[in-house]
Amino acid sequence: MAKKSLKHQNITNVALVHVVLVFLSAIFLIPLLWMISTSLKTDVQALAFPPVWVPNPPQPGNYKQAWEYGMEQLAGQAPMLIYARNSILIAILTVTGTVVSNAIVAYSFARLRWPGRDIAFAITLATMMVPFPVIMVPLFGLFKDFGWVGSFRPLWIPAWFAGAFNIFLLRQFYRTIPFELSEAAKIDGCSEWAIFQQVILPLAKPALAVVALFSFMGTWNDFLGPLLYLQDQKTFTLAVGIQAFRSQAGGAPIHLQMAASTMMVAPIIILFFFAQKQFIQGIATSGLKG
């Protein structure tokens, strides 16, 4: 009887947790659903009160208008195409640099022994406590002296110098890989670089996928960085370009802004949908052990 009561209580607790999670998920989905709904409305429906949730009839042509809105400012070229091209280019360079640099640095902290390693790792982690606004002005001055302001370089070159969070994540994952594999490779005559390439990296694909996904999402959604360093509208990313909609011709209509925002969010949702297995596996197997 006690076992049945305990089992019933466990089922009740699980059901309650699921109900709470579904409720919270619905709350978080409301802004996304509202954005998609508004992107398919007419300008009258978008501003109607009380709000109209279901567009009647849907206006898929809003996406074409948003894609081409403001073409006169860019010599007849579709602004969204230019913004998307810039965002993709910066994201590719940033993700590549993030994965390569952090994989190497994390390997050094996790698998190699050298004087001052633990102190250097502690200092690296301490940099996570420094908020970006604190270093924003010095960085801008540095990049200005380099002559990089107005170009993409301030947005992707720093990614090639590793970051504390990704170093920590990969280091924790590397530490879960048995050291016996490295020792066996050394006996076979492999150098440290060969061990890193042929033994560690193939096993670390889930963690590397998480780092790449985080990097892509952060770069794709980054607004402050491009706002600081990009000056010409032809170099704008999607995040800054959509904000520029509000200043074009007195401000783009709200339904076109929502259509542009939906197009910007879509790649993130699609990427996460296809990469969720690797994402969850990478987080779960990292262990976050000391």
**Residue closest to 211 by CA, chosen among 288, 96, 87:** 96
Sorted by where each begins, the domain ranges of the chain are 2-62, 66-286
Each residue of 131-146: pLDDT tens digit? Answer: 888 899 999 999 999 9
Each residue of 193-229: pLDDT tens digit? Answer: 999 999 999 998 888 988 998 899 899 999 999 999 9
What distance in Å separates the CA atoms of residue 228 and residue 225, rounded to the nearest whole number? 5
**Percent over 90 (pLDDT), the chain:** 33
CA 289 → CA 89, 172, 262, 286, distances in Å? Answer: 35, 6, 38, 8
pTM over 0.75: yes
pLDDT at 2 over 60: no
Each residue of 103-120: pLDDT tens digit? Answer: 999 999 999 988 999 999
Output the CA angle 224-268-79, nearest 5 degrees: 60
> Could you give the residue ranges of the DSSP H alpha helices within the chain?
2-39, 43-46, 61-68, 79-111, 117-126, 132-146, 153-156, 164-174, 179-187, 192-195, 201-203, 205-221, 224-229, 238-245, 254-286
CB 260 within 8 A of CB 242: yes
Q: Which residue has the higher pLDDT, 138 or 279?
A: 138
CA dihedral 45, 49, 53, 58 (to 10 degrees): -10
CA 283 → CA 24, 64, 199, 210, 289, distances in Å? Answer: 22, 38, 20, 7, 12
CA 209 → CA 2, 178, 185, 289, distances in Å? Answer: 46, 20, 25, 19
- What's the CATH superfamily of 66-286? MetI-like (1.10.3720.10)
Sorting pLDDT into bands at 50, 70 and 90, what band is 39? confident
The DSSP output letter for 197 is I
Residue 228, phi then psi, degrees to nearest 5: -75, -45
Average per-residue pLDDT in the chain? Answer: 85
Each residue of 48-61: pLDDT tens digit? Answer: 888 888 888 888 88
Averaged over 19-30, what is the pLDDT? Answer: 87
Q: Which residue has the higher pLDDT, 248 or 245?
A: 245
Q: Which residue has the higher pLDDT, 73 or 274?
A: 274
pLDDT score, position 290: 40
Minimum mean pLDDT range among 84-88, 173-177, 181-185, 244-248? 244-248
pLDDT score, position 288: 47
**Percent over 70 (pLDDT), the chain:** 87
pLDDT at 289 over 50: no
Rg (CA), the chain: 24
